[in-house]
Structure 1
């Protein structure tokens, strides 16, 4: 099994005919993703060739869903058009929208998240690498060749740290890896993914990657205490970040004692989560926890 994305997922790409959309659609198809169409109202009716595969272009998400049964869309449109793109996907009642675009104004993100939630569309992102279920499907920009199918679940605010932990644990493999994005307002949270992984019979352990800013990791710790029975290992980026300075992601800003890496580490460790000081140490902690499970016969 997996969470959110499987080999059965039928994927549309909004912005497929742009430079980034073309490049990553080709990579998604090469990794086994069932890309059933692109969306561009100015190029509707055409097809785009990706190696040995011709992918149709539709004038809207609704047309693509009607023609193909698509249940997932990946959004590569520029920031100014992202709100309209997500609203369009939600109006088509598509279950999953993966928003890769960065630089989306916060008020636009707030608006489209609220609208998508009312329409029953789960949003992952924005400003995220997407998600991958290795060996099955890849919706976004995550490199497919750095890991293999396995039984670890990964949820991360950071794209590059997602890649690094996938590579560090490539010999073990992953059920699903979800890059939720580092903007102040995101559609799918650590808690959402922890809940999904807890309910996934093919996930044995969860890796949680957080960073400075906000209180998402502290809230995740509270959720873990009450609702998660599987082992969780974490890494928090930003221990040396200066106070009051945005570091990388728009949401990664520390004010006083709020949102510090140390506070997040302490909250997670208080509920039994092992927290690594580096990505490599985090990978070693994962191996230790898996060994503990094996010794306990789990």
Structure 2
């Protein structure tokens, strides 16, 4: 994983998902080494003070190896954009776009399962290493450098947790939202292992939400494989039972799972059984 300030970063697609403000925040305010954008049919122009190319391979020819691409195209174009990046030997892919078709994500994950390619998202605001590099749309003003790692399924709740930590004098080593779509490219367990091995991280905050079973899997993984202290927060504790979490990938009714599958109560119980502390509020 290369999250160094001088690593080269590309943006594939310009849309309402990533605005001039986000690009300025990455490039001008945070110093992220954004080298170019790719927008087929618009090659040769400048957009957001970045040179625009038609193809990813053209960017590589001009700037050399690209470390990370940030994809913000239409959901139905994400698979093609990601495969183009992989063909250009880009090993870190952040997908901001929400609503990527599940079968497209399955295809992408099968394509990368035998390669060392890190995928974050879809439906993710990206990664921030406070004081060093910003990849995506996370609001950097909520963060301060420190030793607490954050891994989350949420977006705005991630920022809220970071802000509460900052106000408490607890800076952050890294914050990543793995994405809140039904199928995402990397799991809680993968990122917990990364943070457990990160020399700049001393403690970990896990932010979960209803739907699916990724939090339950993470709780069991923490109890057996993670040495650093972990505190969890599960959104929706005070939400009414009828609350629908469309982002969360809760397919219980489709696959005939128990009605409590993916519920807040199930997740809280799993963390309690694993003796992992759970905060009541961000």
TM-score, normalised to structure 2's length? 0.89
Pairing partner for 1:230 from 228, 239, 244: 228
- The corresponding residue for 1:43 is 42
1:219 aligns with 2:217: yes
Runs of 4+ in 1 over 6 A off after TM superposition: none
1:102 CA drift (Å): 0.7
Pairing partner for 1:274 from 273, 277, 280: 277
Bigger drift between 161-170 and 66-75 goes to 66-75
- The corresponding residue for 1:202 is 200
Bigger drift between 240-249 and 253-262 goes to 240-249
1:66 aligns with 2:61: yes
- The corresponding residue for 2:255 is none
Task: Kindly report the root-mean-square deviation, in angstroms, between the aligned alpha carbons of the 2 structures.
Answer: 1.9
- The corresponding residue for 2:262 is 259
Distance 1:108 1:188, change over 3 A: same
- The corresponding residue for 1:104 is 100
Pairing partner for 1:132 from 118, 128, 135: 128
Deviations along 1:9-62, whole A, 9 cap, x unmatched? 21100014x444442222211222110111112122333353xxxx22222222
In 1, Cα distance between the equivalents of 2:279 and 2:37? 41
Pairing partner for 1:7 from 5, 8, 16: 5
Equivalenced residue count is 272
Query: Unpaired segments of 5 or more residues in structure 1?
Result: 280-298
Bigger drift between 236-245 and 110-119 goes to 236-245
Bigger drift between 152-161 and 105-114 goes to 105-114
Pairing partner for 1:56 from 51, 56, 61: 51
1:229 CA drift (Å): 0.6
Query: Unpaired segments of 5 or more residues in structure 2?
Result: 253-257
TM-score, normalised to structure 1's length? 0.85
Task: Please state whether the residue corresponding to 1:142 is helix, strand or coil.
Answer: coil
